[in-house]
Amino acid sequence: MTQDNLFPADFLWGAATSAYQVEGAPLADGAGQSIWHRFSHTPGLVANNENGDVACDHYHRYEADVALMRELGLNAYRFSVSWSRIFPDGKGRVNEKGLDFYRRLVDALRAANIQPLITLFHWDLPAALDDRGGWLNHNISKWFADYATVMYRALDDRQPIWATLNEPWVVTDGGYLHGPLAPGHRNWFETPIAAHNLLRAHGAAVEAYRAIGKGNIGIVVNLEPKYAATESKEDRDAVVRADAYMNRQYLDPIFLGKYPPELAQLYGQAWPQFADADFSLIRQRIDYLGINYYTRGLTRHDDKQMIERAIRVRNPRATYTETGWEVFPQGLTDILVWVKEKYGNLPMYITENGAAFYDPPSSGEVVDDPLRVDYLRRHFNAAREAMRRGVDLRGYFVWSLLDNFEWALGYAKRFGIIHVDFETQKRTLKASAKFYKDVIRSKGGNLG
């Protein structure tokens, strides 16, 4: 590989986690309950009735975890803040002890020369706000901006990169339409309203940041490029619908100030009139776009599917991960180039990419995960290819630093590059972590 093919010297090489998935101690130091605490403590909603009470115990072990990041040579770390640690009642009173945890974490990262990327909302809404309607309540944009402002005041001087929301599409599709994720609703009519309020909250938090913040703020979306399963007109139309619903529903309002034209028809009677003023709030300038990429959607027309009337079908020749996602690195190149061409050449980060595979029992010292190594190698190359095509990609965060609580799937699906023994909390570097360390050290020189 020639020098030109190396990743830039200031490229951010990171790993990502989220509060409820790794922290544990969800009620410590005066924190309030989140909807994920409530959901996972409701029997039958999470595999094996597991919950985040202990998770990776990162709340107590963050210093050792930062030392592991350092050992890998990471120069960035993406984590999220638990809103209900800061506002136990959802709004009003601020819990300083909750803030202190994130102050300590950011200071530890800074001391290790690791750039923090802080997500303000990664799904764990304060239960007290859900009691007031959660994402269906119009006032949530203000509650979110107030919370965001407290975080900016506490941490902006440490120069983190900020992200408002993580994957608003998953929040609405999983939390309000199909129900496997908290708060577990199944309601077609609620879905566009929750989506709109997420976007308004994002806009309000960006607006608040412009008033007092000095650094960079963006949003994290999950994107899944859609490809037709056959050349039929039906399947090609299904691709347009699936793309409007999953990818453009959030990006069009943010970058173009309006919803994709297909959505009104797809939602039908459930589609309300939205105030014009909302779109200027939503269409705030952002400094970067964060993209979570895991797989593509090989798409077929299917009238039985709600809203998009499209379904993801299996590619018989492909490798699949343990969560049933096709390994398709080219989709990462395609989606990055698509964003650049459709919405403009703004800085981008891959804020999540990774895979759950079965990990063989650990001998205590090594965990061999060749499928994950192969997955990462191919996706790093796909990202590098997008950069060759002019995408302004600034960094890459592997999901995840640690095996953790994978929402409704519990602890069985392991995404970490570091193995966690949940009995003892022992961390063991997987082969993928060692591979990543070499990628970082050589700036991608070992990928070729």
- Taking the complex as a whole, the smallest distance from the CB of residue 404 to ligand FCB amounts, in Å, to 8
435 binds ligand FCB (CB under 6 A): no
Question: One of 23, 190, 308, 352 is an active-site residue; which one?
Answer: 352
Phi, psi of 35 (to 5 degrees): -65, -25
Q: Which of residues 5-24 bind ligand FCB (CB under 6 A)?
A: 18, 21
By the rule CB under 6 A, 166 interacts with ligand FCB? yes
CB of 51 to ligand FCB, least distance (A): 15
Helices (H), 174-286: 190-212, 233-243, 249-256, 262-267, 276-282
Q: Work out how close the CB of 380 gets to ligand FCB at its nearest, in angstroms, rounded to a whole number.
A: 18
Of 235 and 369, CB closest to ligand FCB: 369
167 is catalytic: yes
399 φ, ψ (degrees, to nearest 5)? -100, 115
Residue with tokens 């997955």: 375
Q: What is the per-residue binding string for ligand FCB in 213-242, x denoting contact by CB under 6 A?
A: ---------x--------------------
Does the footprint of ligand FCB cover residue 34 (CB under 6 A)? no
Nearer to ligand FCB, 149 or 166 (CB): 166
Judged by CB under 6 A, the residue of 124, 352, 359, 369 near ligand FCB is 352
Nearest distance from C-beta of residue 442 to ligand FCB, angstroms: 27
Q: How many CB atoms lie within 10 A of CB 332?
A: 26
Is 39 an interacting residue with respect to ligand FCB (CB under 6 A)? no
3-state helix, strand, coil in the chain (%, to 5): 45, 15, 40
Of 285, 288, 219, 284, the C-alpha closest to 80 is: 219
Q: How far, in Å, CA of 298 to CA of 325, rounded?
A: 11
CA angle 79, 417, 288 (to 5 degrees): 40
The residue annotated as part of the active site, out of 23, 50, 167, 406, is 167
Task: Compute CA distances 205 → 47, 289, 347, 349, whole Å.
Answer: 34, 15, 19, 20
Give the span between the Cα atoms of 384 and 377, in whole angstroms.
11
Q: Enumerate the β-bridge partners of residue 428.
A: 419
| Positions in 278-297 near ligand FCB (CB under 6 A) | 292
Cβ nearer to ligand FCB, comparing 261 with 324:
324
Residue count, binding to ligand FCB (CB under 6 A): 12
Q: Which helix (H) or strand (E) holds 407?
A: none
β-strand 288-292 against 348-353: which pairing, if any?
parallel
> Which segment (32-40, 162-170, 202-210, 381-389) binds ligand FCB by CB under 6 A?
162-170
Q: Which stretch binds ligand FCB (CB under 6 A): 60-68, 144-152, 165-173, 435-443?
A: 165-173
Q: Are 124 and 27 in contact (CB under 8 A)?
A: no
Q: Tokens representing 53?
A: 């009470």
CB of 42 to ligand FCB, least distance (A): 19
Counting contacts by CB under 6 A, is residue 415 touching ligand FCB?
A: yes
3-class SS of residue 216:
strand
CB of 79 to ligand FCB, least distance (A): 11
Among 399, 411, 435, 436, binds ligand FCB (CB under 6 A): 399
176 secondary structure, DSSP code: I
Catalytic positions, written as ranges: 167, 352
Instruction: Please give the residue ranges that form the binding site for ligand FCB (CB under 6 A).
Output: 18, 21, 166-167, 170, 222, 292, 352, 399, 406-407, 415
